[in-house]
Amino acid sequence: MSAPTPAGTPPKGVTGNILSSDTGGAASVAAAPFGHALVRAAEKNPRIVGLTADLGKYTDIHVFAEKFPKQFFQMGMAEQSLVGCAAGLARTGFVPFATTYCVFATRRAYDFIAIGAALGGANIKIVAGLPGLTTGYGGTHQGIEDLALMCAVPNLTVIDPCDATETAQATEAIAAHVGPVYMRLLRGQVPVSLDPSTYRFEIGKARLLADGPDVAIISTGLMTGRALDAVRELAAEGVRASLLHVSTLKPLDREAISSLIGRVSRVVTAENHVVTGGLASAVADVSVQAGRPIQLRRVGIPDCFCESGSIPYLVKRYRMGAPDIAAAARELLK
Amino acid sequence: MTSPAAIPQSLSRRAHALRGHVLRMAEIVGQGYVGQGLGISDLLAVLYFGELRYDPKQPDWPDRDRFVLSIGHYAIGLYAALAEAGVIPVGELDTYGSDGSRLEMSAPETTPGVEMTGGSLGHGLTQSVGMALGLRLDGKPSRVFNLLSDGECQEGSTWEAAMAGAHHRLGNLFAFIDCNNQQADGPPSAIMGIEPIHKKWEAFGWHTQRVNGNDVEAIAAAIAAAKGIADRPHAIVLDTLMGKGVPLFEQREKNHFIRVAPEEWTLAKRQLEEAGR
Ligand SMILES: Cc1ncc(C[n+]2csc(CCOP(=O)(O)OP(=O)(O)O)c2C)c(N)n1
């Protein structure tokens, strides 16, 4: 069954408008969860300010800008200046939220994040769009290695939320947290995978979303939505899987990971990122450090720059879908 | 030999042909950078059919002039020029932006005729300076033509490279700045003012001119004048109209990424035909 095509989205098989959202056929979606949550946070804290580098509409911070025009600064297409300026605002006691895409924040402005902000613990929040394969625009726009780069920076908190519920909760959490944060952004129409009435995001805490003895899936970011589908697919075949959602990559909830892999040693990691330097590497590190050997299958982007194309095409091409997570689990159970 | 008077007319015809290719590609993806492609067709016609030395059958000919597209999203214009010039087949334009096509929405350097992967804006001039230094060091007559956008003038790296180009007296380097008065979030005046942009290039030591970027004769004349100055890099600021040649797009509210209703393409193509008569 194919979902009806919403007006304005291109036919299948072409690179989409960078403003369009690929919701992967989600049953429930929420619009601009980051923008609206930032408005709520700013209603409580008047020291919150927003900045962007010519990507306001494209990162949902326009919602904040419309509500608090005096607290919003358009910096033009200049990412180093964006991050440096945010650090300066933090040094004058403000809580700046700076937005651009993952690639431009991390590749172009790395030194400004590391030295300008993280070294001294400047209280800036970098919120970056188009993580991994959420755009068809090829190597220049797909943020495939940003988590590796950001996790390598001392003092920085690194978060990859999985859906609209968590994006909203994490936005309010990082607004209240004192210290530099890098958060990946899901924008536009964002799927709701977690129930907002029961789910509670906490910085540095992983959440066990399913508990089963046969195989452990450990996921981050939007891959958790697909992992939930994979858990259901496996359950239908009689395979009982655990699912641990690790939305904070740094500081890592080593205890939760260690405890899970102590119980279930067949492990599949799933991340919207290259399979080196991100979640898979972190899980392998916990396994070695804790002396808990595991068998590991990594679902994620291979060590390459990816093609351009429609999102469904890319998800298939790089084996990033729910069926790929389930297949990796089955392989371990053979 | 064509007579000098005939040249602008043939360039206008080429620009018109490029616009036809642009519409053909834009219709496939249904939306997109059609405004930019139409706006820059006049420059691309002058370059590819009046100025650049290249061999369409051998796009990597070592002695070619380099056309460096910083602004990867203007690929639609470049592909139109490459097809019209015979570097890529015209029929291939029908795959623009499609899964598995080498004509990606943002031009990758794996496609013939694309010198550098642009799209992460602010890279083009830095590499152009390197190419110009390298070509000069090798004693080659080849020149480097970089196309930047007004938005790209906000990136610090653009000015780092501009300083280097002037410092190293790169007379073989030409930068065209497409001032179409639009960037992602709105017009530059509302996002981060860049004007007077020609004075900035001048202050950075570049031989600078500012012309109507939709006038092939004015563009050709500016290039001719620039070539008379050997010891400085050349900036040619082009004031262009997004959507030029198709009134439907010229008049619509300006947008970085135009949305076009399916039924509008017939009108757009008819308007372009009428403009070409
Ligand atoms: C380094 C970098 N930052 C941000 C972007 C996102 N982006 C793509 S196009 C664009 C606007 C650039 O301005 P311009 O080229 O003048 O826009 P146009 O004339 O095409 O509307 C932006 C901000 C990018 N591609 N590269």
Residues B235, B233: Cα–Cα separation, whole Å: 7
- Calculate mean pLDDT across residues B150-162: 98
- What share of chain A has pLDDT > 90, as a percent? 92
Residue to mutate (ligand 1; options B34, B149, B244; most atoms within 8 A of CB): B149
- Beta bridge partner(s), residue A250: A158
Substitution target from A17, A58, A74, A140 for chain B, most B beta carbons within 10 A: A140
Is the pLDDT reported for residue B7 higher than 90?
no
Cα separation values, A238 from A214, A232, B33, Å? 10, 10, 50
Q: Write out pLDDT tens, residues A255-297.
A: 999 999 999 999 999 999 999 999 999 999 999 999 999 999 9
Is there an atom of ligand 1 within 6 Å of B121 CB? yes
Asked whether this complex has an ipTM greater than 0.85, the answer is yes
Is the pLDDT reported for residue A16 higher than 90?
no
One-letter amino acid for residue A266 of the chain: R
Domain boundaries, chain A: 30-191, 207-333
Cα separation values, B111 from B67, B73, B101, Å? 13, 14, 10
- Calculate mean pLDDT across residues B216-222: 98
Number of residues written out for chain A: 334
User: How many inter-chain contacts (A to B, CB under 8 Å) are there?
Assistant: 104
Q: Write out pLDDT tens, residues B26-62.
A: 998 887 899 999 999 999 999 999 999 999 999 999 9
**Residue A186: which pLDDT band, with cuts at 50, 70 and 90?**
very high
Q: What is the pLDDT of residue B6?
A: 63
Q: What is the pLDDT of residue B253?
A: 82
Q: What is the pLDDT of residue A12?
A: 59
Is the pLDDT reported for residue B120 higher than 60?
yes
**Residue B277: which pLDDT band, with cuts at 50, 70 and 90?**
confident
CATH fold of A30-191 reads: Rossmann fold (3.40.50)
Q: What is the pLDDT of residue A168?
A: 98
Q: CATH assignment of A207-333, given 3.40.50.1860, 3.40.50.920, 3.30.200.20, 3.30.70.580? A: 3.40.50.920
Is there an atom of ligand 1 within 6 Å of B70 CB? no
Tell me which of B205 and B262 has the higher pLDDT.
B205
Is the pLDDT reported for residue B8 higher than 80?
no
pTM for this prediction: 0.95
Specify the ligand 1 atom closest to the Cα of A141: 25
Q: What is the CA radius of gyration of chain B?
A: 18
Is the pLDDT reported for residue B25 higher than 60?
yes
Beta carbons within 10 angstroms of residue A178's beta carbon: 10
Q: Write out pLDDT tens, residues B69-111.
A: 999 999 999 999 999 999 999 999 999 999 999 999 999 999 9
Number of residues written out for chain B: 277
Specify the ligand 1 atom closest to the Cα of A18: 8
Q: Write out pLDDT tens, residues A61-99.
A: 999 999 999 999 999 999 999 999 999 999 999 999 999
Q: Do domains A30-191 and A207-333 have the same CATH topology?
A: yes
Sorted by where each starts, the structural domains of chain B and their CATH numbers stand as 6-275 (3.40.50.970)
Q: Tell me the average pLDDT of chain B.
A: 95
Ranges A3-7, A226-230, B10-14, B130-134: which has the least confidence = A3-7
Strands (E), chain A: 29-31, 48-52, 72-74, 95-101, 125-129, 157-159, 181-184, 189-191, 207-210, 215-219, 241-245, 248-250, 266-274, 295-301
Q: Write out pLDDT tens, residues A217-239.
A: 999 999 999 999 999 999 999 99
- Beta bridge partner(s), residue A125: A97, A181
Residues B125, B102: Cα–Cα separation, whole Å: 24
Within 8 A of B99 by CB-CB distance, chain A residues are 13-14, 309-310, 313
3-state SS string for B36-52: HHHHHHHHHHHHHHHHC
**Residue A3: which pLDDT band, with cuts at 50, 70 and 90?**
very low
One-letter amino acid for residue B237 of the chain: V
Tell me which of B7 and A105 has the higher pLDDT.
A105
- Residue A202's SS3 state is coil
The pair phi, psi for residue A190, each rounded to 5°, is -115, 130
**Residue A21: which pLDDT band, with cuts at 50, 70 and 90?**
confident
Q: For residues A50-87, b (16+ Cβ closer than 10 Å) or e, as one string? A: bbbbbbbbbbbbbbbbebbeebbbbbbbbbbbbbbbbb
**Does residue B30 belong to the interface with chain A, where contact is any CB pair within 8 Å?**
yes
A112: closest CA of chain B, how far (Å) = 13
- What share of chain A has pLDDT > 70, as a percent? 96
Q: What is the CA radius of gyration of chain A?
A: 19
Within 8 A of B154 by CB-CB distance, chain A residues are 54, 76-78
Is the pLDDT reported for residue A22 higher than 90?
no
**Residue A112: which pLDDT band, with cuts at 50, 70 and 90?**
very high
Closest-CA residue, ligand 1 atom 8, reads B184
Q: What is the pLDDT of residue B3?
A: 53
**Does residue B27 belong to the interface with chain A, where contact is any CB pair within 8 Å?**
no
The residues, any chain, with a CB within 8 Å of residue A277's CB and separated by 6 or more, are A145, A147, A148, A149, A151, A152
- Residue B124's SS3 state is helix
**Residue B4: which pLDDT band, with cuts at 50, 70 and 90?**
low
3-state SS string for A235-294: HHCCCCEEEEECCEEECCCHHHHHHHHHHCCEEEEEEEEECCCCHHHHHHHHHHHHCCCC
Question: Nearest-CA residue of chain B relative to A59?
Answer: B185
Is the pLDDT reported for residue B258 higher than 70?
yes
Give A168: exposed, middle or buried? Use CB within 10 Å, 0-12, 13-18, 19+: buried
Ranges A43-47, A63-67, B255-259: which has the least confidence = B255-259
One-letter amino acid for residue A176 of the chain: A
Q: What is the pLDDT of residue A17?
A: 79
Ordered alpha helix ranges (H), chain B: 6-29, 34-46, 75-84, 124-137, 156-167, 188-191, 197-203, 216-227, 247-251, 264-276
Is the pLDDT reported for residue A199 higher than 70?
yes
- For residue B258, the surrounding DSSP H or E stretch is strand B258-259
Beta carbons within 10 angstroms of residue B251's beta carbon: 9
Is the pLDDT reported for residue A214 higher than 90?
yes
Is the pLDDT reported for residue A1 higher than 70?
no
